[in-house]
Structure formats: structure tokens, C-alpha cells
Structure 1
Amino acid sequence: MLKILGAVLVIAAATVSGWLQARQYANRPHQIRKVILALRRLQTEIMYGFTPLPDALQRIGEQSGEPIKAIFSGAAAEMNPPKNRTAQDSLQSSIEASWRFTAMKAAEKDVLNQLSFTLGTSDRKDQLGHIATAVRQLESEEAAARDEQNRYEKMFKSLGLLCGAFIVILFY
């Protein structure tokens, strides 16, 4: 009886592990899409709203779901008093603090870090161009993420179960 219970627990743990890894592959394209939409909203705020950058980032953060909300709202909070940090420092700090809660990879992080270097330091037209470039880069990363999702999501779901069964067979 104990052997059967142990076998069931091993298979269940391995299966859950596979499903969690598969969920990372499923969440990544969705989160990249949310960042793209947030950056497009930022373009609109800069172009038409004439909104100060901290207020625009806060508004975009409120409109975005987690974990994207934490990145933009955190950057806005650091730009406002009492910290009064630059846009670059605040965005990079917020990315570092919030990144572990996302399913995104280093390529997306690099795109946002590169954007932080130009955000708030140049005129409106130049900022819009840099945001558009970041959006294009993220769109190509989203396509790659969708390919990875199609390729690996089912595999990890099956692999978790199969690894659990293999471990049980090895022990018995």
C-alpha cells in the first residue's frame, strides 16, 4: 500500500512540474503582448496626451495586468517624490525588481532596458521612434515565443508524466 502511495506521489509531483514548465511557455507570449500594448499606450500618452512621464507610466501600469503592472507602476513610483529618480534608473530598477515574476526571458528584458536609456531624455518625436523600435523588437520576440510554445508546451506536459513513471519504474 505504501509503495503505491509513493508511486502516485512521485508521478503526481513530476506531472505538476511538467505542467508548471509548460505554463511558463504559455505565459511568455501573452506577457510580451501585454508589454507591447502597454508601450503602444505610452506612445499615445506621449503623442496626444502630453502627460508627464511618471503619470503616463502610472496610468499604463494601472491598465496592465500583473506582472506587467509592477514594472510600469514601480517605475512611476520611483520617478515621483521622495525618490525623484531619472526615467532610466527608475525603469531599470523596476525591471530588476519585478522581472522574476514574469515568464519573459532576457531578450525582452534587454529591449526594455535599451528603451530606458532613451525614455525621458529626448524630445517627443525621438521617444516615439525608440518606443516604436522596442515594439517591433518585442513583436519579433513574441513570434519566437509562440513558436517555442507550439514546440515545447505539449512536450513538457507529457515529459513530466513520463519522467514520473520512469522514476517509479526505476525504484520498483
Structure 2
Amino acid sequence: MIKLMGACLVFLAATWAGFFLARSYRERPRHIRQLRSALSLLETEIGYGTRPLIQACEQISLRVDGVIATIFRQCAENLKQMDGASTYECFRQAIEEQWPKTAMKKPEKQVFLQFSQTLGVSDRQDQLQHVAMAQANLDVEERKARDEQVQYEKMYRTVGILCGVFIIILLY
């Protein structure tokens, strides 16, 4: 009886590990879409709004979901608290703190960091061009992420289950 319970625990642990790894492939395209949506909202704020960046970031954090909202909320807090720091530094700190909570990888982080370097440094038209460029780059990364999801998500789930079965066979 104890052997059977141990086998079930091993199987469940290996299956959970496989599903956990597969989840990051499932979440990555969704997080990239949320980031693109947040950038669209920021584009609207830059193009048509007259709010300061702090208020724009707060509004964006209320309108998007999950970790992306937390990044913009943290950025707004940084802009309030870090008196004299550049906009890029406030964004960079928020991104560095919150990025491990996302399923996104380094290419998306680089696009977002490069975009944040242009905020508040140039005129409205130039910033709108940088938003469009960041969205185009994120669109490419989202397509790559979807391809990886199709390729690897099911594989990791299956490998988790099969590893559990394999370990059980080895132990018996």
C-alpha cells in the first residue's frame, strides 16, 4: 500500500513538473499580447491624452491584467518616488523587479527596455513612432512564442507524464 502511494506521488510530481514547464509556453504569448495592449493604451495616451506619464501609467495599470499591470503600477510609483531619476531608470527598475513573474523571455524585455529609453526624451510624433516599432517587434516575438507553444507545450506535458511512468517502472 505504501509502495502504491509512493508511486502515485512520484507520478503526480513528474506530471506536475511537465505541466508547469508547459504552462510557461502557454502563458508567454498571452503576456506578450497584454504588453502590446498596454503599449496601445500608452500610444493613445501619448497621441491624444494630455495626462502626465505618471497618470498614464496608473490608468494603464487599471486597464490591463496581471503582471503587465503590476509593471506599469510599479513604474508609476517609481516616477512618484524616485525624484530626479530618468523615466528610463524608473521603467528599468520596474521591469527588473517584475519581469521574473512573467513568462516572457529576454527578447521581449529588450524591446520594452529599448522603448522605455525613448519615453519623455523626444517629441510626441517620435514617441508614437517608437511605440509602433515596439509593437511591431513584439508582434514578431508573439508569433515566435506561438510557434514555440505549438511545438513544445504538448511535448512537455507528455514528457512529464512519461517520466513519471518511467520512474515508477524503475522503482518497481
Instruction: Classify the TM-score, shorter chain.
Output: over 0.9
Q: TM-score, normalised by structure 1?
A: 0.97
Map of 1:19-168 to 2, 5 A cutoff? Answer: 19-80=19-80, 82-84=81-83, 85-168=85-168
Q: Distance in 2 between matches of 1:51 and 1:23?
A: 37
Deviation at 1:2, TM superposition (A): 1.2
Give the RMSD, CA atoms, in angstroms. Answer: 0.8
Deviation per CA, 1:19-46, whole angstroms, max 9, x where unpaired?
1111111110001000001001100001
Deviation at 1:116, TM superposition (A): 1.3
Deviation per CA, 1:61-112, whole angstroms, max 9, x where unpaired?
11111110111111111111x3223210010000000011100000100001
* 8 A Cα contact 2:79 2:90, kept in partner: yes
Secondary structure of residue in 2 paired with 1:145: helix
Uncovered stretches (5+) of structure 2, i.e. residues with no partner: none
Secondary structure of residue in 1 paired with 2:32: helix
**Residue correspondences, number:** 171
Q: Distance in 2 between matches of 1:69 and 1:9?
A: 37
Opposite residue 83 of structure 1, the aligned amino acid is M
Secondary structure of residue in 1 paired with 2:66: coil
Secondary structure of residue in 2 paired with 1:72: helix
Q: Distance in 1 between matches of 2:144 and 2:168?
A: 35
Deviation at 1:161, TM superposition (A): 0.5
Q: Distance in 1 between matches of 2:120 and 2:166?
A: 55
Q: Distance in 1 between matches of 2:72 and 2:64?
A: 9
Aligned-pair identity in percent equals 46
